[in-house]
Amino acid sequence: MDELNKEKIENLRRQLHEHNYNYYVLSRPTISDFDFDALMQQLTELEKQHPEYYDPNSPTMRVGSDINKNFIQVRHRYPMLSLQNTYTESEVTGFYNRVKRSLNEDFEIVCELKFDGTSISLAYENGRLLQAITRGDGRQGDDVTANVRTIRNIPLVLKGDDIPGYIEARGEILMPWDVFEELNKEREAQEEPLFANPRNAASGTLKMQDPKVVASRKLKSSIYYLMGEELPSDSHFENMELARKWGLNVSKAMKKCSSPEEVFEYLKYWDVERKNLSVATDGVVLKVDSLSQQRQLGSTSKFPRWAIAYKFNAEKALTRLESVSFQVGRTGAVTPVANLEPVLLSGTTVKRASLYNEDAINALDLHIGDMVYVEKGGEIIPKITGVDKEARFLIGDKVQFARRCPDCGTPLVRNEDEAVHYCPNSEECPPQIKGRIEHFVTRKAMNITIGPETIGLLYDKGLIKDAADLYALRFEDLVNLERWAETSANNLLASIEKSKTTPYERVLFALGIRFVGETVARKLALAFHDIDELGAATVEQLTSVEEIGDRIARSVKDFFENPRSVDFVDRLRAHGLQFQQSEETMAARTDKLAGLTVVISGTFELHSRDEYKAMILQNGGKNSGSVSKNTDYILAGENMGPAKLEKAEKLGVKMIDEKTFLEMLGL
């Protein structure tokens, strides 16, 4: 009977692995998304019923388990070296000649694209993904296996029967341009800092604590080297072709060259063609093909002598600075933007570039009418990197940072030790008001379906002065607006009505209290179960919540001390928004840990650290980050840090494992 289920599970896993490969590696799916989901659903159900057949490499594990492990540092079996960079053809010729002289025999050079992400080492044992480690310092890196399992084009199980017992596949984790742009758009809407380029976004994502979030970020991999004692071929090129057959994603843009001319041809071709790729590249890697020749050439402590990187020139264009404008965001921060004479740069027309802040402008000594260099070096927002002072003919006005808010005319302020200018008129400055309403309605806050244009229109017509006014909108107000029909009016009203059921923690986030992002809002909601309790909390009470520091605590206090905010909250409350924890969350609250301080340390099997933190708060306890004489318990997982262990022993703090902890809570 059970054998049957085991077989069913294995069969489904096999099918799904195959479909994943067809879809993500070959880009040739042979099944509809619907049928794929149905198979996945079947497997998920069966696995739930038969936990005895648990397999960390099952296709169902891709979605990311929410068990969150702190990263553990792991030593690389083979060090991860970096590459020497070169920038010119003559440096490439130099490399070629050095290799020729050293080897004194024929050799071939493999040219590959240098994808711009973050490096990873994937260890496969008997064809199964064992461990994924970041480069770290080259000798040891972070174990990010749980996160890497969510990356779709990394096979959890290799295909084929000629796979060595142990191999390490080295490669790059990448975030495709479109995913990167989408992510930044979302972050901009949340006023979260933007990622400068896909590389930062990929490495930031890989280091996140929650594999579920990693899974949502749609990372990719590209494999560029195999390591192991029993590699199938002496040719790197052939090994890569085999790796592709095993299901690893290996770029097709590889070429074996037998002369420097062939290498240059490759460089020239890809310098142009790379702009059409869906991922960022920053150069080409040249490798001696034969592994025995690679060994013969050896490495320095940092770089192999058998490979180099050739970096493409960052793309630059020269154009005229026409004017500088200043934009005001939701928090009042003012960003200078350069308006340029349109110029073509990496296939797109650039009209605007970011100027960051006053210091950046002064450092460039910018004058209106200057010819400026714009660059897109892997970054999505072009930046001005220099001025061609020779081209100055008639020198224009020196660019000055705005003194007054471009929208409301209020004098701007710049705090000492900060580079940013603010418009302090947060109550009346239109872009700040509109920005706050835009934040209020975003998906992760109240999730009301209304765009910035409509918000602007309603604000300009005097129909809304803040987000609370949305709840007072009537059908007649909307249907008479230009180009509005009954359906759109009804849809908006329905969406506004529906938002009244949004849980307390998201309402807290929607309020737009400075420094209170999604996570902080969740923490506050857990610790202070209704808005009145939160409003009355002292700075000390606020900072006693894990990860709430002085800056956030002060900002929360400022918010509730402002009569306007109090009025705003009261009006929202009158409209029926949720300002307290739901019944279920409340019902789960106990005082089993009242008066007790618990430190969490190590990694856990049954719940994530965040879940344990939430449990401590839910049961009236306090969670602290460091061991002191005030610590009552250490909830100790595996691999607890040695410093904490020593301190705990010295202070005689009681250590409990996760099972004991759950028993204490009656779970």
Residues assigned a catalytic role: 114
Answer left, alpha or beta for residue 595, where phi above 0 means left and psi between -120 and 50 means alpha: left
By CB under 6 A, name the one of 13, 17, 114, 330 that touches ligand IVH: 114
**Residues near 446 by Cβ (< 8 Å), separated by ≥ 6?**
440, 467, 499, 502, 506, 507, 510
The backbone torsions φ and ψ at residue 80, rounded to the nearest 5 degrees and listed phi first, read -100, 105
Closest distance between ligand IVH and the C-beta of residue 190, in Å? 30
Residues 63, 67, 81, 277: which binds ligand IVH (CB under 6 A)?
Answer: 81
438 lies in the site for ligand IVH, by CB under 6 A: no
- Binding residue for ligand IVH (CB under 6 A) from 21, 24, 107, 224? 224
- How long, in residues, is the chain? 667
Nearest residue to the partner ligand IVH, using Cβ: 119
Nearer to ligand IVH by Cβ, of 118 and 597: the residue is: 118
Which secondary-structure segment (H or E) carries 623? strand 622-624
Q: Of 58 and 121, which has the nearer Cβ to ligand IVH? A: 121
3-class secondary structure, 54: coil
- Counting residues that bind ligand IVH (by CB under 6 A) gives 15
Tokens (6 digits) for 78: 């083979």
Are the C-beta atoms of residues 122 and 132 closer than 8 Å to each other?
Answer: yes
304 near ligand IVH (CB under 6 A): yes
Q: Does 115 bind ligand IVH (CB under 6 A)?
A: yes
Whole-angstrom Cα distance, residue 164 to residue 583? 56
Cβ proximity to ligand IVH: between 284 and 455 the closer is 284
Shortest Cβ distance from residue 124 to ligand IVH (Å)? 18
* Cα pseudo-dihedral 581, 584, 590, 595, rounded to 10: -30
Nearer to ligand IVH, 50 or 244 (CB): 244
Rounded least distance, CB 281 to ligand IVH, Å: 8
Nearer to ligand IVH, 115 or 504 (CB): 115
CB of 304 to ligand IVH, least distance (A): 4
Q: Residue 134 or residue 601: which is nearer to ligand IVH going by CB?
A: 134
Q: Of 202 and 513, which CB lies nearer to ligand IVH in the complex structure? A: 202
Of 154, 307, 374, 600, which lies in the binding site for ligand IVH, with binding defined by CB under 6 A? 307
For ligand IVH, the closer of residues 296 and 449 by Cβ is 296
**DSSP bridge pairs for 422:** 333, 413
Distance CA 483, CA 361 (A): 43
Of 47, 143, 168, 172, the one binding ligand IVH (CB under 6 A) is: 172
- Asked if 395 contacts 350 with a C-beta cutoff of 8 angstroms, the reply is no
Measured over the CA atoms of residue 42, residue 48, residue 52 and residue 54, the dihedral's sign is: positive
76 binds ligand IVH (CB under 6 A): no
Write the single-letter amino acid at 10. Answer: E
Kindly report each contact of residues 500-504 with a partner whose C-beta sits within 8 Å and lies 24 or more positions away, as own/partner.
500/471, 500/575, 500/576, 500/577, 500/578, 501/578, 502/445, 502/446, 502/447, 502/577, 502/578, 503/578, 503/582, 504/530, 504/531, 504/578, 504/579, 504/580, 504/581, 504/582
Q: How far is the CB of 251 from ligand IVH (least distance, A)?
A: 8
Cα separation, 643 vs 649, in Å, equals 10
Segment contacting ligand IVH (CB under 6 A): 107-115, 151-159, 261-269, 391-399?
107-115
Would you count residue 109 as binding ligand IVH (CB under 6 A)? no
114/613 with CB nearer ligand IVH = 114
Region from 79-87, 196-204, 343-351, 539-547 binding ligand IVH, contact rule CB under 6 A: 79-87
Give, in order, the Cα–Cα distances in Å from 607 to each of 50, 206, 449, 624, 660: 20, 20, 35, 18, 13
Is residue 206 a contact point for ligand IVH (CB under 6 A)?
no
Question: Which one of 187-195, 304-312, 418-426, 431-439 is the stretch in contact with ligand IVH (CB under 6 A)?
Answer: 304-312
Position 517 contacts ligand IVH (CB under 6 A):
no
Q: How far apart are CA 424 and CA 404, in angstroms?
A: 10
| Chain-centre distance for alpha carbon 564 | 35
Least CB distance to ligand IVH at residue 264 (A): 18
Using CB under 6 A as the binding rule, whether residue 309 contacts ligand IVH is answered as: yes
Question: Considering the complex, what minimum distance in angstroms separates the CB of residue 306 from ligand IVH?
Answer: 8
Q: Is 225 in the site for ligand IVH (CB under 6 A)?
A: yes
Cβ count within 10 A of residue 555 = 15
Taking CB under 6 A as the binding criterion, the range among 78-86, 183-191, 460-468, 560-568 that sits at the site for ligand IVH is 78-86
Which region among 64-72, 108-116, 173-181, 606-614 touches ligand IVH (by CB under 6 A)?
Answer: 108-116
- Shorter beta-carbon distance to ligand IVH: residue 78 or 475: 78
- How far is 665 from 661, CA to CA, in rounded Å? 7
Choose between 287 and 609: whose C-beta lies nearer to ligand IVH.
Answer: 287
CB of 253 to ligand IVH, least distance (A): 9
Q: Which stretch binds ligand IVH (CB under 6 A): 302-310, 405-413, 492-500, 554-562?
A: 302-310
Residue 173, judged by CB atoms within 10 A of its CB (0-12, 13-18, 19+), counts as buried
Under rule CB under 6 A, residue 378 binds ligand IVH: no
What's the rounded Cα separation, in Å, for the pair 47 and 557?
48
266 binds ligand IVH (CB under 6 A): no
Compute the least distance from the CB of residue 294 to ligand IVH, in Å.
9
Residue 213: HSE in the Cβ half-sphere, 13 Å Cα cutoff: 11
Nearest-angstrom CA–CA distance, 227 and 397? 60
Among the listed residues 82, 126, 292, 323, the single contact to ligand IVH using CB under 6 A: 82
What is the layout of strands, in order, in the sheet containing 654-656?
A: 622-624, 597-601, 633-636, 654-656
Site residues, ligand IVH (CB under 6 A)? 81-83, 112, 114-115, 119, 135, 172, 224-225, 285, 304, 307, 309
